[in-house]
Amino acid sequence: MPEINEGFSAEKVPHAEPALSSREASPVVSELESAHRVKEPPVASASGTLPGQRATLKANAIGLPGVLFQSITAMAPASAVATALTPAVPLAGASLPLAVVAATIACIFIAACIGQLAVHIPSAGGLTTYISRSLGPHVGFLSAWIFLLAQPLLLPLLSLVWGPYLEDLVKLLTGIDISWIVWVIVGNAALLLLTYSGIQRSTVVSVILGSIEIGIILALSLTMILRAPNDVATLTPAYSLQQSFGGWGGIFQGMLFAFLAFTGFEAAAPLGEETTHPRRTIPLAVIFSALGIGVFYTIGSYAGMIGWGVSHIAGYAASPAPWIELGQRFWGWLGPVLISFVTINSALGNGNAGINATSRVAYAMGRSGTLPHLFARLSR
């Protein structure tokens, strides 16, 4: 059973920092150590190839902004604030911001651990390589296949978000009714062409899409904070709908749903071989994305609670689209339009980040022999 074991040679990569040990520096794990491991090519130079060897991922292709927004857009922050945090409300009630703060703290600890692994093992295999190197090849093999079976399901799910939203938005603005199926096809084709064009262009688009969705949600949040009655008790268990343990029972149950909204901050890891100074950049991207989006979620959840009204919070949980209603309430007709737009934007950004991560892990699996070597072929 081959291991997802990606090497990284500091000596042959101009941008890499000195390896921490000979084991980390070597692109090949000695067959005397483990006969079942498959030899890996060293990471390419900036030209993308090494003499006598097949093409590899292009080193130094992206910097901190691109890698940071790879993680940010993988979390789909606008959609998370507008929809993913809602299931926590029946548990945490209007104290949702406190549950988000608790989830943020937990995610920062996890991000710090992932960052430390990225310091030692910058690899296209991402978490699958970390697991393989730390817990053994068998567990790594299973984790790689679980990832590869689950992650590709993200794009069809996202298609069911941007497709209907685009159909409704275009019909509202133009009066033209174009089936959501058409928008699903167009969106998937655009994402595949974008990611095929290269990681540099793809991450630039991630920065743009991520900035748009964060900007719009923050603008609406600040509008609600300035216009609605503020209530700092939402940052305490006072409004928890589960009063066990003084209200903390509802907070910790709600925290589980809030934690799910952070899924994706680790998505920077598979870009390790294409990042400038990956041993420093990847940890920063993972930690800053978890911290920054945690603050963003806290602001958004607080604004949503006071904007809706603490005394009527049950209606927030029952609403199929609470932020569209909040947009209507505070921004008039423009609010639902912008929230619909930002939801589409968020889904497309999430899809772009998902393809980037999945394709790198599949590449690493093909390179190690876990998948057919066809998956290790590059377009350029």
Helix (H) / strand (E) element for 313: namely helix 313-318
On whether residue 371 sits in a domain, the answer given is: no
337, burial (CB in 10 Å: exposed 0-12, middle 13-18, buried 19+): middle
Residue 1 three-state SS: coil
d(CA 28, CA 38): 8
Residue 39 three-state SS: coil
Cα–Cα distances (Å) from 172 to 167, 331, 333, 336, 347, in that order, read 9, 17, 11, 11, 20
On whether residue 252 sits in a domain, the answer given is: yes
- What is this structure's pTM? 0.83
Which CATH number does the domain housing residue 218 bear?
1.20.1740.10
Which one-letter amino acid corresponds to residue 360? R
CA proximity to 118, closest of 70, 76, 77: 70
Name the residue range of residue 246's domain: 61-138+160-361
On whether residue 148 sits in a domain, the answer given is: no
On whether residue 227 sits in a domain, the answer given is: yes
On whether residue 12 sits in a domain, the answer given is: no
Cα–Cα distances (Å) from 243 to 47, 91, 248, 257, in that order, read 60, 9, 7, 18
Question: How many folded domains does the chain comprise?
Answer: 1
Maximum distance among all alpha carbons in the chain?
70
Cα–Cα distances (Å) from 24 to 235, 249, 316, 367, in that order, read 44, 44, 51, 18
Structure tokens at 277: 């100074």
Q: What is the DSSP letter of 138?
A: H
Tens place of pLDDT for every residue, the chain, 380 residues?
444 454 433 333 334 444 444 344 333 333 333 334 444 444 443 334 444 455 688 888 899 999 999 999 999 999 999 999 999 999 999 999 999 999 999 999 999 999 888 888 888 888 888 888 888 888 888 888 888 888 888 889 999 999 999 999 999 999 999 999 999 999 999 999 999 999 999 999 999 999 999 999 999 999 999 999 999 999 999 999 988 888 899 999 999 999 999 999 989 988 988 999 999 999 999 999 999 999 999 999 999 999 999 999 999 999 989 999 999 999 999 999 999 999 999 999 999 999 999 988 888 888 888 788 888 888 76
3-state percent helix, strand, coil for the chain, nearest multiple of 5 = 70, 0, 25
On whether residue 21 sits in a domain, the answer given is: no
d(CA 158, CA 206): 16
Structure tokens at 41: 């090519």
On whether residue 379 sits in a domain, the answer given is: no
On whether residue 4 sits in a domain, the answer given is: no
Tell me if 129 sits within 8 A of 121, measured CB to CB.
yes
